[in-house]
Amino acid sequence: MFDMAGDDAVQFGLGEPDFQPPALAIEAFSQAMKDGRNKYTTTAGLPPLRQKIAETWHNRIPTLDENNVCMTMSGTNALLDIFLALVDPGDEVLLPEPYFPLYPTDVVICGGNPVLYPCLFDNGFVPTIADLESSLTEKTVAVLYNFPSNPTGGNVTPEQRDELIEFARANDLWVITDEVYDRIVYDSEHVSFLGAGYDKVIMINSFSKTFAMTGWRIGYILSPDLEAMGHITKMQYYVTACSNDAMQYAVLEALEKASDYPEQMRDEFKQRRDLICARLNAMPGVSCHVPTGAFYVFPKIDVPGMNSEEIAMALLEGGVLCSPGSAFGGAGEGHLRFAYTIGREDISRGMDRVEQVLAELRGD
Ligand SMILES: Cc1ncc(COP(=O)(O)O)c(C=O)c1O
């Protein structure tokens, strides 16, 4: 679909901030290379950076330190390390559906079986405990939660988080928590699965969204469980040996000197969220949740006789690129994903086109 989009297409397809990393991080990256930081680092990464990251989570678990953190070359790299460490052939991992498309394939690459639990519109894109329980077997080793979610923008309240943790505790499962959107949260504090009274928790995080560094490829894994961190760090050694030397100095600089940068981006995303939700909810046949995190909306679209891929193709012909909900698993059928990673004028222009195409398709 990206290839088919014309030059004039309004792009709601990209899951990356349309901002640049903080200028001082770019400067620090360049300076670190000039200073000779062009070598392998230890597998887990630069100790002061790991310590700084641990400290950013002291509000959840005050005892965390550098030993609880392993640097990776992105959240994508982090996911693979974790599945490699946790999954033996035949093991089952509970994954949300709609899902970030790497999850099921990563589990398969590691010899495991993905088992999908639904996160549906009618329940605010949060799973029910009954659905989770009915997905369990004696082979289940872990459950992955992703809040705020890609693709739905769904998020949990502290009470919902506690129930999801309780489900894992009652069944002795590892919780893999993908919190790459933890700094893009609107209207309330981020609800983390860390420090919620259960230590079999492994967090994936990344600087792709936090500091608009998608092309840099840097992220981390954090867990209060040191034995798990030992196994995960071993896997990181086999996957990429270590993260990027100079870049780790740049991220440390950003954490120390541009810690409010994510909030500046978030404030802009919030205005875009309000705009796109208002526009979508005013269209006949469209219902859109107002997400409390990430930069995606996942509206339900009703065009009789057409599935989400057909609707997305019709929109593409009308000059709008978005993703069909079915690209994120069967439970995404009936939805489209719009990433509001473009300016407000472009959002308005794109929404005018969506309105017109849907009206034609529905015969309104
Ligand atoms: C939910 C989720 N997890 C992980 C990632 C991976 O991010 P990266 O590999 O850029 O760190 C993404 C990227 O879009 C994502 O949406």
Mean pLDDT to the nearest integer, 117-122: 97
Percent of the chain clearing pLDDT 90 (strictly above):
97
Banded pLDDT at 46 (limits 50, 70, 90): very high
Percent of the chain clearing pLDDT 70 (strictly above):
100
The CA 44 to ligand 1 mean position distance, Å, reads 20
Q: What pLDDT, on a 0 to 100 scale, did the predictor assign at position 7?
A: 81
Q: What pLDDT, on a 0 to 100 scale, did the predictor assign at position 1?
A: 75
Which residues face 287 on adjacent strands?
A: 300
The CATH number of 10-19+261-362, from 3.90.1150.10, 3.40.50.1100, 3.60.20.10, 1.10.357.10, is: 3.90.1150.10
The CA 75 to ligand 1 mean position distance, Å, reads 5
The answer to whether residue 2 scores a pLDDT higher than 80 is no
The CA 211 to ligand 1 mean position distance, Å, reads 13
Quote the mean pLDDT of the chain: 97
Architecture per CATH, 23-257:
3-Layer(aba) Sandwich (3.40)
Q: Which helix (H) or strand (E) holds 314?
A: helix 308-317
**Residue to substitute in 72, 155, 202, 208 for testing ligand 1 pocket (most ligand atoms within 8 angstroms of CB):** 208
Q: What pLDDT, on a 0 to 100 scale, did the predictor assign at position 5?
A: 78
**Residue to substitute in 77, 147, 193, 209 for testing ligand 1 pocket (most ligand atoms within 8 angstroms of CB):** 209
Ligand 1, residues at Cβ distance < 6 Å: 15, 74-76, 100, 146, 150, 178, 180, 206, 208, 214, 219
The protein residue whose alpha carbon is closest to atom 11 in ligand 1 is 75
Q: What pLDDT, on a 0 to 100 scale, did the predictor assign at position 206?
A: 98
Q: By the 8 A CB rule, do 296 and 152 touch?
A: yes
Which tokens go with 165?
A: 């943790």
Look-up of token digits 């079986």: 113
Mean pLDDT to the nearest integer, 260-286: 97
231-255 pLDDT, tens digit per residue, is 999 999 999 999 999 999 999 999 9
The CA 214 to ligand 1 mean position distance, Å, reads 9
Query: Measured at the alpha carbon of residue 233, what is the angle toward residues 254 and 21, in degrees to the nearest 5?
Result: 20
The protein residue whose alpha carbon is closest to atom 13 in ligand 1 is 15
Banded pLDDT at 292 (limits 50, 70, 90): very high
Every domain of the chain and the residues it spans? 10-19+261-362, 23-257
Mean pLDDT to the nearest integer, 3-10: 85
**Residue to substitute in 150, 211, 239, 323 for testing ligand 1 pocket (most ligand atoms within 8 angstroms of CB):** 150
CB within 8 Å of 17: residues ≥ 6 apart: 209, 212, 214, 265, 295, 341
Q: What pLDDT, on a 0 to 100 scale, did the predictor assign at position 4?
A: 81
The CA 137 to ligand 1 mean position distance, Å, reads 28
Q: What pLDDT, on a 0 to 100 scale, did the predictor assign at position 249?
A: 98
The CA 216 to ligand 1 mean position distance, Å, reads 13
* pTM of this structure: 0.97
**173 backbone dihedrals φ, ψ, rounded to 5°:** -100, 150
Q: State the closest ligand 1 atom to the C-alpha of 146, by its place in the atom list counted from 1.
A: 1
Q: By the 8 A CB rule, do 100 and 176 touch?
A: no
Q: What pLDDT, on a 0 to 100 scale, did the predictor assign at position 294?
A: 98
The answer to whether residue 3 scores a pLDDT higher than 90 is no
Nearest to 336 by CA among 311, 360, 305: 311
300-353 pLDDT, tens digit per residue, is 999 999 999 999 999 999 999 999 999 999 999 999 999 999 999 999 999 999
57-66 pLDDT, tens digit per residue, is 999 999 999 9
DSSP assignment letter at 193: S
Q: By the 8 A CB rule, do 347 and 273 touch?
A: no
